[in-house]
Amino acid sequence: MKKVLILCTGNSCRSIIAEALINAELDGVEAESSGVKASGHVNPNAKKLLEDRGIWKEDYHSKTLDTVIDNDYDLVVTVCGHAQETCPMFPKPVKTIHVGFEDPDGKDFSAFEETYVEIEETLLPKIMVELS
C-alpha cells in the first residue's frame, strides 16, 4: 500500500476532497490530509459534496501537520500555494509535488463541485504517475 499526504493551508476543503477521492478511487493508495494552519473543521460544502458522492467517512477531519509529520509517506502533495511555500521538512526523505487548485471556501456549492472534478481529473492521474 502506497501512502500519500495531501497538504493544504486550512485542511477544510481541497485537501479533504482530495483525500476522500484518492481513498475511493485509487487502488493500492491510502491518503491522509493535513493543514499547515489547520482550521479545525471540515467545510460544510465539502462534507456535503463527499456525502452526495458517497465517499464521506466520519474519520475525515481537519488536522494539524504535527499529527502526521512522523508518518511514513511515499508522496506529499501540496494543493495550495501557501502550503507549497511553507511545506515543512519531513523527518524522512519523501518525494513532494505541487498541484494547485483554487480554494472554493466562501463560494457557492458549484465551486466545490468544480474543485472535485478538477482534483479527480488532474491530481489523481499525476499521483498514479508519481507512484509508479
Sign of CA dihedral 72, 9, 60, 21: negative
pTM: 0.93
Using DSSP's 3-state secondary structure scheme, residue 66 falls into helix
Distance (Å, whole) CA 60 – CA 111: 20
pLDDT at 87: 63
pLDDT per position as a tens digit, 34-83: 988 888 899 999 999 999 999 999 999 999 988 998 899 999 999 987 76
CA nearest neighbour of 35 among 67, 72, 68, 63: 63
* 103, 14 Cβ separation under 8 angstroms: yes
Q: Which of 24, 87, 94, 97 is catalytic?
A: 87
Domains in the chain (CATH in brackets) are: 2-126 (3.40.50.2300)
**What is the band of 86 on the pLDDT scale with cuts at 50, 70, 90?**
low
Q: Known catalytic residue: 13? A: no
What is the pLDDT, as a whole number, of residue 37? 85
3-class secondary-structure state, position 95: strand
Higher pLDDT, 27 or 39: 27
To the query of whether residue 87 is one of the catalytic residues in this protein, the response is: yes
